Amino acid sequence: MVGLVTRCRSCGGRLGVTMADLGLQPASNAFVTSLAAAHEEKRYPLRAKVCESCKLVQLDYDVAPQELFGNYVYFSSYSDHWLVHARQYCEMARRRFGLDARSLVVELASNDGYLLRNFIEMGVPVLGIDPSDTVAAAAQRIGVPTLVEFFGESLANTLAADGRQADLIIANNVLAHVPLLNDFVAGIAVLLKADGTVTIEFPHLLELIEHVEFDTIYHEHYSYFSLYAIEQAFSRHGLRLYDAERLPTHGGSLRIYAAHSNRPDLEDGALLRTLRAEESAAGLADLDTYPRFAERVENCRQSVLAFLATAKNEGRSVAAYGAAAKGNTLLNFCGVTPADISQVADRNPHKQSKFLPGTHIPVVSPEMLLQARPDYVLILPWNLQAEIRQQLQGIKEWGGRFVTPVPMVVIYP
């Protein structure tokens, strides 16, 4: 389970083609507490490969989970945007699936219960499943029953034997984090009632490729899904997709709807058919499509390095914003050092006064960044740039500029 992976985690096919080789990188959330401790930092290959058979894009090196997650805990409720997104989803689901007091909604990776509590308010019974006891305890405190377990076929069998099958299973932004994909999907098939639906949200590989979002590749994400690859994984376990929606989250995501395969009453939705055609036109079923991505990633690195070199020649200072996984993949791939980028600001107090994994750039508060009056601020979480530019408006005072790194360096006057 740890180390080099030579066979596809979905179909067992060969992982012969490289889509992006991002070099040796530390775990993206392994913040360094002191420069003295930095020499103990471990690095692992970060490489996205493509299965020659089912075309699932996946990392071919698994890092031990304790290296990846450590003490780092992400509480979903911290983001207002997510709370709104969750509530809208629950209202839609209750209407569409006719959920009521006799139904059961199960969420996989239910975190602190921020989503499920909406169903509780509607009188719909829920069960959360999450392996982190910290977030599960937070969920229990707001009245969301939560099992502290890893989800898979074994747990699904136990629940089904207890008569606890689900009318609706929800799995948002978890599928990419699952190393044993078949065990997880098999569990969904067992847990789902005969007429139930599972909805799954995940970043869409087509968007990642079209917008060169290679910085969303990191060790915590084992797989990067196209409809083409996910439909094969689901059909292996007697599940079929019947609808899909586009979502703006994570640089372009999909929400898919799936049910048991033997449901002649369900017709494929129009958008699902459109998305399949888009993927086909983009060549996602064709192995030759993927190595071309590697060239575009290299172009992006060259443009970031050219920007940093020009800034240095002109004697201009560069700071960065956002000590997130995304930024770490990019900075490590580009080989950036504290001589190029003197500091990175982040609002999370747990990250401040630590150092970024790999590059060892010091993390400071947004206030400290403004006090340093940098000429440029590189916005690493480019998906949040509107919010960040608003927050750091103060840089206009001294003619500072914002820069986004992916896909190309863009400078806003």
- The backbone torsions φ and ψ at residue 295, rounded to the nearest 5 degrees and listed phi first, read -65, -40
Nearer to Zn ion, 49 or 326 (CB): 49
10 binds Zn ion (CB under 5 A): yes
Measuring CA to CA, how many Å separate 294 from each of 27, 54, 314?
21, 20, 31
Choices 54-62, 76-84, 185-193, 400-408; region in contact with Zn ion by CB under 5 A: 54-62
Nearest distance from residue 179's CB to Zn ion, in Å? 15
8 binds Zn ion (CB under 5 A): yes
363-364 and 344-345 strand pairing = parallel
156 binds Zn ion (CB under 5 A): no
Of positions 46, 48, 54, 116, contacts Zn ion by CB under 5 A = 54
51 binds Zn ion (CB under 5 A): yes
- Residue 164 and residue 126: Cα distance in Å, rounded? 10
53 binds Zn ion (CB under 5 A): yes
Nearer to Zn ion, 55 or 219 (CB): 55
Nearer to Zn ion, 13 or 238 (CB): 13
Q: Which of residues 12-31 bind Zn ion (CB under 5 A)?
A: 13
Nearest distance from residue 126's CB to Zn ion, in Å? 34
Nearest distance from residue 53's CB to Zn ion, in Å? 5
Beta bridge partners of 38: none
- Residue 96 in tokens: 């569409």
Nearest distance from residue 56's CB to Zn ion, in Å? 5
- Residue 306 and residue 299: Cα distance in Å, rounded? 10
Nearest distance from residue 51's CB to Zn ion, in Å? 3
DSSP 390-404: HHTGGGGGGT-EEEE
Beta bridge partners of 402: 377, 412
Could you give the angle at which helices 325-334 and 289-313 cross, rounded to 10 degrees? Answer: 80
Helix (H) or strand (E) holding 272: helix 270-281
Cβ atoms of 217 and 22 closer than 8 Å: yes
Q: Which of residues 300-329 bind Zn ion (CB under 5 A)?
A: none
11 binds Zn ion (CB under 5 A): yes
Could you give the angle at which helices 227-235 and 181-191 cross, rounded to 10 degrees? Answer: 60
Choices 22-30, 48-56, 150-158, 371-379; region in contact with Zn ion by CB under 5 A: 48-56
- Residue 66 and residue 358: Cα distance in Å, rounded? 18
57 binds Zn ion (CB under 5 A): no
Nearer to Zn ion, 8 or 363 (CB): 8
Enumerate binding residues for Zn ion (CB under 5 A).
8, 10-11, 13, 51, 53-54, 56
